[in-house]
Every structure is written in C-alpha cells, then in structure tokens.
Amino acid sequence: MRISENIVLQKVSGVDLPWVNFRLLDKRILYLNFKPLEDEFDLKMAKTHAKVVADLLGNDGAYFVLNFQGTHINFSNDAREFFASDKNHTKNRKSQAIVIDSLAHKLVANFYLRFNKPKGPTKVFEDLEAAFQWTLSLNL
C-alpha cells in the first residue's frame, strides 16, 4: 500500500465493514479508513468494530492509524468511552494516529483526547503521511 512516495507498506490482511476498511499492514500497523456514516456510530457498532480488530490482531497489538478524511461520523458517548477504555480493545492498541480534515473532526478529536483520555500515545494529524511517519517512529 503506497502511503506516499517515501512510505510503502505491505498489506498483510484486511476486513471491510459498512463504516470502515481495516488493513493490517507490515510493521504491525492497523490502518482504518473510515467511510461516511449517516447513522450514529453506537456502542453495538463499536463492539463489532473491536471484535474485528481482535480477530485481525490476535494477541499481538498494533499501531493504529485512523483516517477520517472525507467522512462525517457521529460517535455516541458510549462508543467513544468504549474505544477509550475497554481493556480488551485498548490492549491491542499501542498508539493512535487520528487523521482529520475538518473543524468538526478537530472538535470531536479534541473532546475524545481531553474527556475520554485514551490509553497509549494518541495524536491528531491533518496529513496522512505525517500520521504514518509518527506511527513508524514509535514502531522502530
């Protein structure tokens, strides 16, 4: 998978759900490319999402890159809290790079960071390549 001229990673496996494409890449990077979603992203969806992550990763964690560019997704409070604190999900997440492209995304991401306080290194980016560079710097 070509991220940029300088970053090329191989796809190991993947799963597609109606709201996101999961791509497990080499170097234990899990790339999540979100799709536009008209309904609220609720707790049931969050649990399905976490199960796919667990199935993809097994007992080995990964460095997450979450791409929200070009989407509109409204996470319920329960879903945000689940992603931030569920022990089964957070044990798989070594870091999170959250990629956004709008003021609405920035507000939600900042709220998530301040109030849900996700475990592990988490940083917000407006550039996908920068997100991958940061993730790779943690993974060396």
Tell me the C-alpha distance between 137 and 108, whole Å. Answer: 25
- Return per-residue pLDDT of the chain as tens, 140 residues: 888 888 889 999 999 999 999 999 999 999 999 998 888 999 999 999 999 999 999 878 899 999 999 998 888 989 988 988 888 888 888 999 999 998 888 888 888 788 877 788 999 999 999 999 999 999 76
pTM of this structure: 0.90
For residue 82, report the phi and psi dihedrals to the nearest 5 degrees.
-60, -50
In angstroms, the CA 19 to CA 15 distance is 11
Structure tokens at 94: 């070594």
In the chain, what is the straight-line distance between the N-terminal and C-terminal CA atoms, in Å?
A: 19
- Residue type at 104 in one-letter notation: A
Query: What are residue 10's DSSP bridge partners?
Result: none
**Separation between Cα atoms, residue 66 and residue 128, nearest integer Å:** 9
Architecture in CATH of 11-138: 2-Layer Sandwich (3.30)
User: What is the C-alpha separation between 18 and 35, in angstroms, rounded?
Assistant: 7
Amino acid found at 123: K
Token pair recorded at residue 53: 């992550």
